[in-house]
Amino acid sequence: MFIYYIKKVIRAKSFLFWNLAFPLILMTCMHFAFGNIYNIENNISPMNAVLVSVGEGNYQESFETVMTELSSDDADRKLFELSYADSIDSGRAMLEQDAEVLFVVTDDDISVTLAKKHSSTAGAVARGVTNSFRQRYALMADAFESDPASAASVLQMITEEAEQSFAKPADNVFSEEPNPYTWYFYSTFVMAIFFDSMSGVNIVGDLKADVTREAMRFSVSPSKKSRMIILAFTARLIPCLLIAAVQLAVMKLVFGLSLGTDPVKLIIFVVSAVIFSIGFGVMCGLLFKGNVESRANKATAIVMTSVFLSGEMIMQIPGLFEKYCPIINDINPATVINMAFYKMAVCGNDAGFYLNIIKIIGLAVLFLVIGVIILRREKYASL
């Protein structure tokens, strides 16, 4: 019986497509679309830069200080291998050799010239640094006049800002711009797990005689309902877990994503999230009316809405909810699962991880208890 249940599940093309193939396709597309961002975010190697100061003033001196800080081996994130040139011509000559970017700073402005062969990150970094400096210089000039001591802290601020622009703090998962590369991948993985809800809906279809004719055969047979529930649930759970394992392996080995440092926590997360999703599907299957397809369609609508609100397409959404209406993040299942995963894999935030896991397990148990009570019913008011 169990083997047939498993066969039934793994032969369902829609199950394999939505739970396995679609998330992997989406991840592959995202890898090509956002792989460069990942490089900017994580793999910026210091670029060769040439600085030419034309004249001697506070503006040039301040910029030179910022560039020196960003080129220092002691910097949190070293962005430049900095060389100096006496003139613009010699700077350009160096640009034609091995430098990637030329900064020419005058009394009141900075010009940026990129080498013909420059990396895609060079322009973004150079512009980011110069723009940050321009915006903050007025503040710094005031500080020089009124309180020279505070000018140093403004300079520090500019340096830190430039460093942070290219190294987002990972623990701020509700920041307006969380790390997009990891965020979209984790959201997609969570979406794939949440698609397991369809398995829950199908369990209802397997066992409720007022939903499918096949279930009617179960109800009239001498097989005990509790046994059928365990068989149906286990036969759905195992393929879902295997699929999640495949996806995690691809995320780790192909896309180079962090899955955290503790495999036990990862297993706890995956098992509880899959059970939660199946339980959620069981609840949807029981609450909605109509045939299995109709119930599954309604459940899909809820799952997709939940996934959308968790930031699968627009990653800033959960950050906005956290700011204006945090309860939505607390009750949105996809966000709760997403947060548990993100906090485990990226932030190493144990408290946050376990809080979300407790929520997931609590709801999973609740859904399954209600589900089992209703599914064990033997007689119906109507069929």
Partner 1 sequence: MAEILKVTDLVKRYKELIALDHFDMSVNEGEIFGLLGPNGSGKSTCINCIMSLLTYDKGSIKIFGKEMSPKEYDIKSKIGIVPQDVAVYDSLTVYENIDFFCGLYITDKEKRKKYVQEAIDFVALNDFVKFKPKKLSGGLKRRLNIACGIAHKPKLIFFDEPTVAVDPQSRNKILEGIEQLRKGGATIIYTSHYMEEVEQLCDRVLIIDKGHTIAEGTIDELKGMIKKSEIITIEASGVDEKDIEAVRELPNVYSVDYKDNCLKVEAGSGKHNVIDIVNILQDKGYRMKKIFSEQPTLNDVFLELTGKQLRDE
Of residues 29, 87, 230, 380, which one binds partner 1 by CB under 8 A? 380
Residues touching partner 1: how many (CB under 8 A)?
25
Length of the chain: 383
Per rule CB under 8 A, is residue 168 in the interface with partner 1? Answer: no
Q: How far apart are CA 186 and CA 240, in angstroms?
A: 17
CA-based radius of gyration for the chain:
28
Residue 196 amino acid letter: D
Rounded Cα gap, residues 330 and 349, in angstroms? 17
Q: How far is residue 133's CA from residue 244's CA, in Å, rounded to a whole number?
A: 46
**What one-character DSSP code corresponds to residue 85?**
E
- The DSSP output letter for 103 is E
Smallest gap, in angstroms, from Cβ of residue 17 to partner 1? 14
Q: Is 219 in the site for partner 1 (CB under 8 A)?
A: yes
Contact between 220 and partner 1 by CB under 8 A: the answer reads yes
C-alpha closest to that of 12 among 194, 183, 243, 295: 243
Least Å distance, CB 202 to partner 1, is 11
Nearest residue (CB) to partner 1, 52 versus 292: 292
Which of 116, 117, 289, 379 binds partner 1 (CB under 8 A)? It is 379
Task: Output 69 or 206, the one with its CB closest to partner 1.
Answer: 206
Q: Least Å distance between CB 370 and partner 1?
A: 20
Q: Does 212 bind partner 1 (CB under 8 A)?
A: yes
Q: Say whether residue 11 binds partner 1 (CB under 8 A).
A: yes
Decide if residue 221 touches partner 1 (CB under 8 A): yes
216 binds partner 1 (CB under 8 A): yes
The torsion of the CA quartet 80, 86, 87, 92, rounded to 10 degrees, works out to -40
3-state SS class at 108:
coil
Could you list the residues that contact partner 1 (CB under 8 A)? 1, 4, 7-8, 11-12, 209, 212-214, 216-224, 378-383
